[in-house]
C-alpha cells in the first residue's frame, strides 16, 4: 500500500490507482470521494496539457509525460509538505463526462471460453472456434460515435430480428470487457514490443448487444446493428503504470503466434464483477484472455492501418471456464434456455426494462471503478 497523509474513506480511489477523468470543464484525479483539479497542482508544462475539458492532449504527450505526472501526484500525496497545495485543489464529487475523444473503436473476441460458448450456441453444427481464431486476434471495427460514458441510458434498440420483423429487441444483453486507450498515434504498424509507447491505460467496457438482431444479421460475431447502438465505458482511465502489479503471463499459445504477434507481452489479472440490479451474477477473469493487449494492437495495425490518439480497442467478452465466470447473459443463460433467478424471485434470460447492470474491477488495492447503465424502454 502507498502511504498517504491524505485521510481517505474506505470507498473510492486511493493513491495506488490515480486514474484520470473529466468532470465539468476540468481534468481531475479522483481521491476517495473528492476530485483533485489536476491543472492546479502540476508544473506549468504538464498543467497546460490538462487545462481543457479533455484528456486528449495529455494522452498524445506520451510515456515520459505520463510518468512525470504520475510521479508528481505520488509525491504530492505521500509528502505532507504539499498538504496545503493539494487541499486547495480538492473539489467535491461531480458527474464524470466521457474523458477523451474516441477516435476509432475496435472490439476483439479474445477470450477462448467465450468464443467456444458463442460458437456452440449460435452455430452448433460447425466447429466452435472460427478457423483463424488461434492464429490471430479476431475483431471488428465498431462505432466510435456511440461509445458513451457510464450512466448513459441504454435505450432498447429496434431492428430486424427475422424477415420483415422489425421491432424492439427482446434479447438485450451485456458483454463485460476491458478497453485499452491509445495515447500516441502511429503512421503504420506498431511492433508488439512497443505497445506501451502507444497505449496509455484501461477502462471497463460494456458492449451492449441485441442478440436477436445480431444473430439474424450475421452469425456468430454480428458486429453491425446488433452492437452499434451503444457501448458504455467507465469514466476513469486507469494508467497502465497503476496496473503493473496485475501483469501476468497470458495463457500458453498453441500454435505459436506469427512473428508480428510476438512478444506476447503481459496479460492482466483483474477481478471483474458483473451486477444485475445490485446482485452479483458473474466474476469474469481477465487473466483468461488468450490474446494480449500488445498482440491486439500489433494485429490491428499490421496491415498499415494508422493509429490515432483516442483509439479504443476492447478485449472481447471475458469468460472463464466455470458457469459463475461468464461475461454475458447469452452464455450465463445458455442462449436464454436456462434463465437466472434473482434474489427478488424474478427471472432473466435477457435484460428487462429498468434493469441496471454494473461492471466493476479491482487488482489488489487498484480499482478500475465501474461502468453502469440502466435499460430504458424502446420509444
Residues that bind Ca ion (CB under 5 A): 107, 175, 207
Instruction: Give 285's strand partners.
Output: 271
Backbone angles phi, psi at 34, to 5 degrees: -110, 170
Q: How far is the CB of 89 from Ca ion (least distance, A)?
A: 38
Backbone angles phi, psi at 47, to 5 degrees: -60, -35
Q: How far is the CB of 108 from Ca ion (least distance, A)?
A: 8
Give the H or E element holding residue 359: strand 356-363
Per the CB < 8 A criterion, the answer to whether 141 and 109 are in contact is: no
Nearer residue to Ca ion within complex by CB, 96 or 226: 226
Quote the CA–CA distance of 240 and 63 in Å, as a whole number.
10
215: closest CA among 204, 223, 203?
223
Nearer residue to Ca ion within complex by CB, 50 or 230: 230
Nearer residue to Ca ion within complex by CB, 7 or 145: 145
Task: Write down the H helix ranges in 211-262.
Answer: 211-217
Cell of 377: 424502454
Nearer residue to Ca ion within complex by CB, 55 or 293: 293
Point out the residue whose Cβ comes nearest to Ca ion.
207
DSSP structure class, residue 287: G
Quote the CA–CA distance of 50 and 63 in Å, as a whole number.
15
Nearer residue to Ca ion within complex by CB, 37 or 177: 177
Nearer residue to Ca ion within complex by CB, 4 or 282: 282
* Positions marked catalytic: 114
**Residue 147: partners with Cβ closer than 8 Å, 6 or more residues away:** 98, 102, 105, 231, 232, 233, 312
**Residue 286: partners with Cβ closer than 8 Å, 6 or more residues away:** 178, 267, 268, 269, 270, 271, 272, 315, 318, 361
Nearer residue to Ca ion within complex by CB, 37 or 207: 207
Nearer residue to Ca ion within complex by CB, 315 or 370: 315
Q: How far is the CB of 142 from Ca ion (least distance, A)?
A: 8
Task: Write down the H helix ranges in 239-365.
Answer: 293-301, 329-332
Q: Looking up cell 486507450, which residue turns up?
A: 181
185: closest CA among 309, 102, 313?
309
Cell of 117: 460458448
Q: How far is the CB of 361 from Ca ion (least distance, A)?
A: 16
228: closest CA among 119, 286, 155, 138?
155
Cell of 88: 486547495
Per-residue buried b or exposed e for 236-268, using 16+ beta carbons within 10 Å of the residue's own CB: bbbbbbbbeebeeebbebeeebeeebbebbbbb
359: closest CA among 183, 173, 159, 89?
173
Amino acid at each position: 500500500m502507498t502511504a498517504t497523509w491524505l485521510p481517505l474513506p474506505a470507498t473510492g480511489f486511493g493513491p495506488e490507482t490515480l486514474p484520470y477523468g473529466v468532470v465539468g470543464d476540468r481534468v481531475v484525479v479522483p481521491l476517495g470521494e473528492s476530485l483533485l483539479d489536476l491543472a492546479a497542482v502540476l508544473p506549468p508544462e504538464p498543467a497546460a496539457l490538462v487545462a481543457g475539458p479533455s484528456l486528449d492532449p495529455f494522452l498524445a504527450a506520451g510515456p515520459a509525460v505520463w510518468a512525470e505526472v504520475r510521479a508528481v501526484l505520488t509525491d504530492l500525496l505521500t509528502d505532507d509538505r504539499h498538504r496545503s497545495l493539494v487541499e486547495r485543489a480538492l473539489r467535491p464529487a461531480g458527474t464524470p463526462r466521457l474523458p477523451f475523444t474516441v477516435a476509432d473503436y475496435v472490439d476483439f473476441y479474445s477470450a477462448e471460453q467465450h468464443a467456444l460458448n458463442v460458437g456452440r450456441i449460435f452455430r452448433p453444427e460447425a466447429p466452435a472456434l472460427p478457423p483463424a481464431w488461434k492464429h490471430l486476434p479476431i475483431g471488428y471495427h465498431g462505432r466510435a460515435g456511440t461509445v458513451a460514458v457510464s450512466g448513459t441510458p441504454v435505450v432498447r434498440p429496434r431492428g430486424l430480428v427475422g424477415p420483415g420483423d422489425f421491432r424492439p429487441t427482446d434479447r438485450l444483453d451485456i458483454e463485460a470487457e476491458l478497453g485499452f486507450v491509445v495515447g500516441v498515434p502511429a503512421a503504420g504498424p506498431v511492433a508488439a514490443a512497443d505497445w506501451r509507447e502507444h497505449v496509455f491505460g484501461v477502462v471497463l467496457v460494456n458492449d451492449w448487444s441485441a442478440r436477436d438482431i445480431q444473430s439474424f444479421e450475421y452469425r456468430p460475431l454480428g458486429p453491425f446493428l446488433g452492437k452499434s447502438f451503444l457501448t458504455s465505458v467507465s469514466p476513469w482511465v486507469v494508467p497502465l503504470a497503476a496496473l503493473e502489479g496485475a501483469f501476468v503471463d497470458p495463457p500458453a499459445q498453441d500454435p505459436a503466434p506469427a512473428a508480428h504477434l510476438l512478444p506476447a507481452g503481459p496479460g492482466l489479472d483483474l477481478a471483474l464483477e458483473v451486477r444485475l440490479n445490485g446482485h452479483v451474477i458473474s466474476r469474469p477473469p481477465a487473466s483468461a484472455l488468450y490474446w494480449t493487449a500488445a498482440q491486439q494492437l500489433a494485429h490491428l495495425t499490421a496491415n498499415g492501418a494508422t493509429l490515432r490518439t483516442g483509439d479504443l480497442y476492447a478485449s472481447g467478452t471475458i469468460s472463464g471456464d466455470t458457469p459463475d465466470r461468464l461475461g454475458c447473459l447469452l452464455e450465463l443463460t445458455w442462449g436464454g434456455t436456462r434463465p437466472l433467478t434473482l434474489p427478488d424471485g424474478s427471472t432473466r434470460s435477457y435484460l428487462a426494462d429498468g434493469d441496471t447492470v454494473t461492471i466493476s474491477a479491482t487488482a489488489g488495492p487498484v480499482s478500475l471503478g465501474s461502468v453502469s447503465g440502466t435499460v430504458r424502454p424502446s420509444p
